[in-house]
Amino acid sequence: MPKVRRSRKPPPEGWELIEPTLDELEQKMREAESEPHEGKRKVESLWPVFRIHHQKSRYIYDLYYRRKAISKELYEFCLKESIADANLIAKWKKQGYENLCCLRCIQTRDTNFGTSCICRVPKAKLEEGRIVECIHCGCRGCSG
């Protein structure tokens, strides 16, 4: 089993409950990073990495804020050790960003017209039958 990188300080109580899931996600991340990217567009090769990163952060977020299954010490340990993305979780706590896929989708400096990504547009405001796919992370719609 691959080890999750940690500091010298031992993990807080409850770590053994979430460690198997984090190890599994870490293994998926390694597979996604080493996956061949022939035949894919340049941006498409990074989409699995973004999805797994989102999944890992959402797992920690749900355990702490929704299910209240882990302690504050363990939650802060995961953020400090960069197991979960603290900036992404901070956005999830704000109204309107509960389903945000990645931080690049809300950065206006990365787009041509200074707006947010197409996946942030509500499906009701898009043309019917139009399939939308974010170029940053492959998301198909993370607005409310």
Q: Do residues 11 and 74 make contact, with C-beta atoms less than 8 angstroms apart?
A: yes
- pLDDT over 90 at 111, yes or no: no
Q: What pLDDT was estimated at residue 5?
A: 59
- pLDDT over 60 at 92, yes or no: yes
- pLDDT over 50 at 6, yes or no: yes
pTM for the predicted model, two decimal places:
0.88
Average pLDDT of the segment spanning 19-35? 95
- pLDDT over 50 at 1, yes or no: no
Q: How far is it, in rounded angstroms, from Cα 114 to Cα 28?
A: 34
Q: What pLDDT was estimated at residue 27?
A: 97
Average pLDDT of the segment spanning 50-59? 96
Q: How far is it, in rounded angstroms, from Cα 38 to Cα 53?
A: 22
- pLDDT over 90 at 99, yes or no: yes
Q: What pLDDT was estimated at residue 72?
A: 97
Angle at 97 between CA 95 and CA 99, to 5 degrees: 125
The residues, ordered by sequence, that sit 6+ positions from 111 with a Cβ below 8 Å of its Cβ are 117
Q: What pLDDT was estimated at residue 22?
A: 96
Average pLDDT of the segment spanning 79-102? 95
